[in-house]
Structure 1
Amino acid sequence: MKLEMLEKDLYYHIYNRGNDSEVIFRNDENKRYFLSLAAKHLDQAVSILAYCLIDNHYHFLLKIDTEEHTATQKFSNLFNAYAKAYNKRFNRTGSLFEKHFRRKKITSEAYLRNLIIYIHRNPLNHGVTPDFANFKFSSYRFCIEPLLSSPIALDKEETISYFDDLENFKFVHLRQANFRDEEGVDW
């Protein structure tokens, strides 16, 4: 399978899950470590608009700020570093993630807005929490709380700008919404 190249100045949904839907974040410490690695490897390479970590998968919405080969290598370094540390910590071997990380180019502003909402509501959609707004491993609360500092560089202003202002950003997130991508697939 040929993977789509990551093109500079374009937006992508980057996501993956554990091999055979296995848990890839057993605890909050694992999630914090993954975010610290993301900060280390992705800083200067991407602009992150939204993210969410669930026990068996993750989502990022981001813009590529560097050349395609460099961006791909940065992601590879992040995921390899995390998998090696996880395997060592839990005395396991083999692939942690399912195949290569998935990437989907964002082709419209409407799709981008819906994806931001989808990523932020992901913990609610998967039954992880009834209150997605306070979920610790999503960028939502860092977007709405000006004094909170995200563990990774987050372009809050750009994220909110797609909704005109903070009040509308909150309003559309609180609406019950199903996400359907441009190919008509429900997420």
Structure 2
Amino acid sequence: MYFVEDKIYHVYNRGNNKQPIFFRPENYIYFLYKVRRYIRPNCNLLAYCLLPNHFHFLFQATSMSVFMKQTTVVTQTQLSDGFKNLLSTYTQAVNKQENRVGSLFSQNTKAKLVSCDETKTDYSLLCLNYIHQNPVEAGLIQMIEDWPYSSYLDYAHRRNGTLCSKEIAYQLIDADWDNFSAFSEAILPEESIRNLY
């Protein structure tokens, strides 16, 4: 994955062949622990949502994100290496738990630039809402606040989570943050969602 410092990205992946990646509630918690260890130090994490067979992140790239790191096989960005470690260590744990072997995730984690300069549309707010609405759209819950594995509850001040850089999100994403719950539930135009992938 290629990143530009200060830009905002939508990063996502899903289970291999659309299979589940989270089997128990504690799997979600363990994955977020790994996110705190491998991803959070290498970017400004702005939002996330974990679903039974896929995940979404919204983050701002930092100097650590784009720092080139030499591994035993390739040279890659610090953040790309973080995602590799996150998925690899999580897969090992779940494979052991589920008595399975092989790949848990699709081959390539995708990253889509959603912030742009003044000549292009900025999709950061749309992406934030899309990520938080994902469990409702998937039919897992009726109300956004009923899904515990997203950053929605942190922004809605219903949980005091520290994984996301909320203060940075308030600065970067042009939104009426005082009315977060209202704008989070706005219907998203289908044609705009295509720009998130």
TM-score range, shorter chain: 0.7 to 0.9
CA distance in structure 2 between the partners assigned to 1:110 and 1:5 by the alignment: 19
How far off is 1:79 after superposition? 0.8
User: Are 2:155 and 2:180, in contact at CA under 8 Å, matched by a contact in 1?
Assistant: no
How far off is 1:6 after superposition? 2.3
CA distance in structure 1 between the partners assigned to 2:129 and 2:106 by the alignment: 24
TM-score w.r.t. the length of structure 1 is: 0.87
Structure 1 residue 117 and structure 2 residue 129: aligned? yes
Structure 1 residue 141 and structure 2 residue 141: aligned? no
Q: Quick one: percent identity of the two aligned structures?
A: 30
Describe how 1:1-187 pairs up with structure 2 within 5 A: 4-65=1-62, 66=64, 67-68=67-68, 69-108=77-116, 110-145=122-157, 148-150=159-161, 153-161=163-171, 162-181=173-192, 184=194
CA distance in structure 2 between the partners assigned to 1:78 and 1:100 by the alignment: 13
- Measured against aligned partners, the alpha-carbon deviations of 1:41-98 in whole angstroms (never above 9, x if no partner) come to 1232111111000000000000122125211111111111101111111111111001
Point out 4+ residue stretches in structure 1 off by more than 6 angstroms.
Answer: none
Measured on the aligned residues, the alpha-carbon RMSD in Å equals 2.1
- Measured against aligned partners, the alpha-carbon deviations of 1:138-185 in whole angstroms (never above 9, x if no partner) come to 101111117x222x5211123344244433322211222245447x46
CA distance in structure 1 between the partners assigned to 2:153 and 2:191 by the alignment: 24
Aligned residues: 181
User: Are 2:39 and 2:82, in contact at CA under 8 Å, matched by a contact in 1?
Assistant: yes
Instruction: Could you tell me which runs of 5 or more consecutive residues in structure 2 were left unpaired when the two chains were aligned.
Output: 69-76
TM-score w.r.t. the length of structure 2 is: 0.83
